[in-house]
Amino acid sequence: MKDKFGREIGYLRVAVTDRCNLRCLYCMPEEGVEFKPHPEILTYEEIERVIRAAVPLGITKIRLTGGEPLVRKDLPDFIKKIRSIPGIEEIALTTNGTFLPKYAYALKEAGLDRVNISLDSLKPERYKEMTRGGDLSKVLRGINLALDLGLKPVKLNVVVVKGFNDDEVLDFVAFVREKEVHVRFIEFMSIGESRTWKNRGYVENAQLRERISLKDQTLTALSAEEVSVLGNGPAEYYRVQGGLGTIGFISPVSNHFCSRCNRLRLTADGKLRPCLLSDRYVDIKTALRSGGSQKTLQDLIKKTIFSKPEEKEIDQTKPEDEIGPDTAFMSQIGG
């Protein structure tokens, strides 16, 4: 189904929880955020109803997110149910990777296709500091297991923060030479907790590309066919000489990709959002819990699609006190 600007919407990101086992510096305050009470969180059955209503409208790809999705019990069983829905072509998972050593086999058996792993440092002590207690060794084991099980392409999402981990860019390039992973450098976005980091956090991806090139790291743009294998997301991908994987750049601040956006977001508490960088949403939980029919759900999904803005509506270049107060933490909207 197309929105009013002609974009084909085929991708639904589903936050199955707002909870997380880590407290990343730019994502949450140290004390965490106030989690939604369990009765306010959609049940798996309710999420499945939304997905079943969305598929006839053109949704073919599902990505499960959080918070950290693997803190929610019985996620592999839920993936099996999604896998059984006719029309679903791909199920992916975005995770911090710490629980992959425990659940990767069950996820693969349930029908998960691939994983994206958030990893902002390859240095154990820095990773621990950045995540407020995370264990890098668990994530590295999770990456290796995902590769062994064929949960490919395995993508690593690296949020680059000025003065904190931007000195590791070439370390990640070296990592791509060693393993068949696809590192995507993501520009720091001023959302939620990260708004307080805005002035010191942002590094433009063009600077990272230049830095890599200056170190004799030849970057060759992937062909359209190669990119399609990795998915039709917002990253610009490059091959590194001698690399088993690729380097990608996602630039939501310096070169936003709104004209190619094909996704909706379902939050854990039942808000259907047309855009990450917008406060717009449609309440779908009320319909789910008041006996709404599939047509009712589809009408709400259509309403969300048609409310999708042409461009982002949260200006990340504004001072913190000029950004809308309703802008949620990233962990609460499945960013």
Closest residue by Cα to residue 165 from 183, 140, 182, 180: 183
Q: Is 16's pLDDT higher than 70?
A: yes
Let me know: does 187 contact 161? Beta carbons within 8 Å: no
Closest residue by Cα to residue 285 from 36, 7, 70, 3: 36
* CA-atom Rg of the chain in angstroms: 19
Taking the C-alpha atoms of residue 202 and residue 187, their distance in angstroms, rounded to an integer, is 7
Cβ atoms within 10 Å, residue 110: 18
Q: Is 32's pLDDT higher than 80?
A: no
Q: Is 260's pLDDT higher than 50?
A: yes
Domain boundaries, the chain: 11-333
User: Hey, which of 2-11, 21-30, 159-168 has the most confident mean pLDDT?
Assistant: 2-11
Q: What is the DSSP string of 187-230?
A: E----GGGGGGHHHH---HHHHHHHHHHTT--EEEPPHHHHHHH
- Mean pLDDT computed over 193-218: 74
**pLDDT value at residue 319:** 41
**pLDDT value at residue 317:** 46
pLDDT in tens, 64-108: 999 999 999 999 999 999 999 999 999 999 999 999 999 999 999
Taking the C-alpha atoms of residue 111 and residue 195, their distance in angstroms, rounded to an integer, is 37
Superfamily of domain 11-333: Aldolase class I (3.20.20.70)
**pLDDT value at residue 257:** 85
- pTM as predicted: 0.90
Lowest mean pLDDT among 7-11, 83-87, 162-166: 162-166
Cβ density class 279-313: b for 16+ within 10 Å, e for less: eebbebbebbeeebeeeebbebbeebbebbbeebe
Of the chain, the percentage scoring pLDDT greater than 70 comes to: 89
Question: Up-side HSE of residue 26: CA atoms within 13 Å toward CB?
Answer: 25
Let me know: does 99 contact 52? Beta carbons within 8 Å: no
99, two tokens: 């629980």
Q: Is 1's pLDDT higher than 90?
A: yes
For residue 152, what is the DSSP state?
A: -
Taking the C-alpha atoms of residue 194 and residue 333, their distance in angstroms, rounded to an integer, is 14
- Mean pLDDT computed over 124-145: 97
- Mean pLDDT computed over 234-255: 91
